Structure 1
Amino acid sequence: MSDTALLIIDIQVGVVDGELRAARLDTVLDNLNLAIAAARRRGIPVIFVQHEEDERPHGSAAWQLHPGLARQDGDQIVYKRYGDSFCETNLAQLLSAHGASKLWIGGAATDFCVDSTLRNAVSRGYQVTVIGDGHTTVSAFALSGEQVIDHFNAAWGATSATPQPLRVKPAAEL
């Protein structure tokens, strides 16, 4: 049993390839698939997280995981209604059942669900490695999606006041 789990958060059609296309999406999908392949080689569980809300109801076309992800039967799915993947879900119990104390995290949206989940994971004592080239968001407010991704990678990479190390690594280095 591995002490690590791979979380891929909200890479859903309506999140990353809907009205707005997420920044660097093709590259992010490629890199998430690299991370999935690395996890499978090491016996690391792959867990997909799917966000449901009024404009993306459970089972709708927009709610579906992106078809570009290398999913397999046996991959686990966590359903959520809030930004933080731990909030009112079975994620903590699932990770405990796998004996996971370390997480590889990628997905969408960088500035919302990915950030919320990784901050809660760090607070819960997990050692988190963000897949630096495996998360994305759309342009919003005054920043492009690319700027948001780069900013969060820099901020997470500079964070040292955590119980366990918080790392940012490209998928090829996992």
Structure 2
Amino acid sequence: MDALIVVDMQVGLLNGEPKHDLNGVIERINLLAAKVRERSGTVIFVQHCSGTEDDFVPETPGWALLPALHRTPADIVIRKILNDPFVGTDLAARLKEMAPERVFITGWATDLCVDATVRSAVSHHHNVVVVTDGHTLNDRPHLDAASVVRHHHWVWSNLITQRSVRLARTDELLF
């Protein structure tokens, strides 16, 4: 059984500046989520929450998950307040109880919350699969989005861990 973590794919985070291959990322997350569910796995949506200073107050329009994401009642939603969804939430306990063979990681933003999720999942001794075409961000002041993605793929493939960290495209994981 596998678990798919979808990080912060929320209206308020994905509005504004163009995001790297956003429509493709959404489509691939939906395809992978359907396959994980079909194989009796679990889909976990992580949702960033914050105070009144921004668009991520629970139950406000910016806080909502993207309507284009296909969700089911069996999916789990984890609310977080930091980049790392393992801190201050029950994500670690839920994954420990599930004992997935692999943890697939997708979402927003490659260099912040997705990176924190990858590193924390590794630290919690999971076999991590970073879905290389399943995460996104916008250009940064010092680097374009595609370069940030390439850099993080290199970093993640070179993490020192006692479990596996695999990088794979969605099409590789669907078969």
Question: TM-score, normalised on structure 2?
Answer: 0.92
| Offset at residue 101 of structure 1 (A) | 4.8
C-alpha separation in 2, matches of 1:96 and 1:59? 29
Q: Which amino acid aligns with 1:166?
A: V
1:31 to 28, 33, 50: 28
**Counterpart in the other structure of 1:19:** 16
Q: Note if contact 1:34-1:172 (Cα within 8 Å) is conserved in structure 2.
A: no
Q: Which amino acid aligns with 2:168?
A: K
**3-state DSSP of counterpart to 1:49:** strand
Identity of aligned residues (%): 35
Aligned residues: 170
| Offset at residue 127 of structure 1 (A) | 0.7
Cα shift readout 1:61-101 (whole Å, capped 9, x = no counterpart): 11110111111112110000000010100101111222225
Q: Which runs of 4+ in 1 moved over 2 A?
A: 99-102
**3-state DSSP of counterpart to 1:73:** coil
1:10 to 8, 19, 33: 8
Q: Note if contact 1:49-1:78 (Cα within 8 Å) is conserved in structure 2.
A: yes
C-alpha separation in 1, matches of 2:86 and 2:159? 22
**3-state DSSP of counterpart to 1:62:** helix
Q: Note if contact 1:12-1:65 (Cα within 8 Å) is conserved in structure 2.
A: yes
**Counterpart in the other structure of 1:64:** 64
**3-state DSSP of counterpart to 1:47:** strand
**3-state DSSP of counterpart to 2:62:** coil
Q: Which amino acid aligns with 2:58?
A: H
C-alpha separation in 2, matches of 1:85 and 1:103? 14
Counterpart mapping for 1:145-156 below 5 A: 145-156=145-156
Q: Which amino acid aligns with 1:133?
A: D
**Counterpart in the other structure of 2:142:** 142
Which sits farther off after the overlay, 33-42 or 79-88? Answer: 33-42
Question: TM-score, normalised on structure 1?
Answer: 0.92
**Counterpart in the other structure of 2:105:** 105
Q: Note if contact 2:92-2:124 (Cα within 8 Å) is conserved in structure 1.
A: no
C-alpha separation in 2, matches of 1:147 and 1:41? 34
Root mean square deviation, CA, Å: 1.3
Cα shift readout 1:10-68 (whole Å, capped 9, x = no counterpart): 0111112x122321101101111121121012111001000012311111111110111
